[in-house]
Amino acid sequence: MEFPKNIFGSHSKMDGDFFLGIKKILGFKPKNIAFYKKAFLHRSMNKRDEDGNALNYERLEFLGDSMLGTIISKHLYNEVPNGDEGYLTKMRSKVVSREHLNELGKDLKLIDFVESRIPKSHFGENIHGNVFEALVGAIYLDRGYVYCNKFIKKRVIEPYVDIEQLEGRVISYKSLVIEWCQKQKKSFDFNVYEDTGNDSLKHFAVKLSIGGTVVAKARATSKKKAEERASKRAFFALQDKMKR
């Protein structure tokens, strides 16, 4: 699909700077720079193509997520011939976890390319991983599977995919705590409540009880983050017992 040259309303110098920045990240020349401009276009810009379809990175994010999962799956399949389906699925989840994708996006400073009407300081953590996936989608549309595989191998697999390290990497401390409690037949409870205090952003606090005793407390800007943070503290407080 070709985009009209003026669809993004960019000036030639801006296009040139963007092209050089993207080329440096990719390690090869983009063919159709419009795919990459779309990969960093936030929905707050309210741009549309000539058919009235929304122009932003969200559809590319969907495509990139699929391509990333496929290429990582193939790598793990080849590298771990004795790994069963459950093992391979768990390992892939560790590589493409939201936390890891956010780290990848931050390492590449992708947020610097985002075009938005919202101040970048107001973005949540997931913007980094979202645009990383959108970039992968743009590469696939622009240069196909071979170059997409080349980029993921260079930026994800070679620097980050170490089988032994991945086996020891924890995706969710909450899942570990719950699994341990169930095996030990211990009751557990995440008591979550709003705890704004003097913060401008809404915060949630959580008390994690195991066997009727509070073992950890935490607070964060979302219930999910607060529960995960409390679970991590509980894990390290009880790790000697949990590793038996």
Residues 6+ apart with CB under 8 A from 1: 141
Q: Using the 8-state DSSP alphabet, how is residue 41 labeled? A: B
Q: Contact at 8 Å (CB) between 69 and 88?
A: no
Catalytic residue among 61, 115, 133, 227: 133
Catalytic residue among 50, 58, 61, 65: 65
Rounded CA separation 61/106 (Å):
16
Residue 158 φ/ψ, nearest 5 degrees:
-60, -45
- Exposure of 160 by Cβ count < 10 A (0-12 exposed, 13-18 middle, 19+ buried)? middle
Rounded CA separation 156/108 (Å):
11
Q: Is 189 a catalytic residue?
A: no
Q: Are strands 188-194 and 213-220 parallel, antiparallel or unpaired?
A: unpaired
Rounded CA separation 139/93 (Å):
22
Q: Is 195 a catalytic residue?
A: no
Among 226, 231, 216, which Cα is nearest to 192's?
A: 226
Q: Using the 8-state DSSP alphabet, how is residue 51 labeled? A: T
Residues 6+ apart with CB under 8 A from 50: 4, 7
Q: Using the 8-state DSSP alphabet, how is residue 118 labeled? A: S
Q: Which residues are catalytic?
A: 65, 133
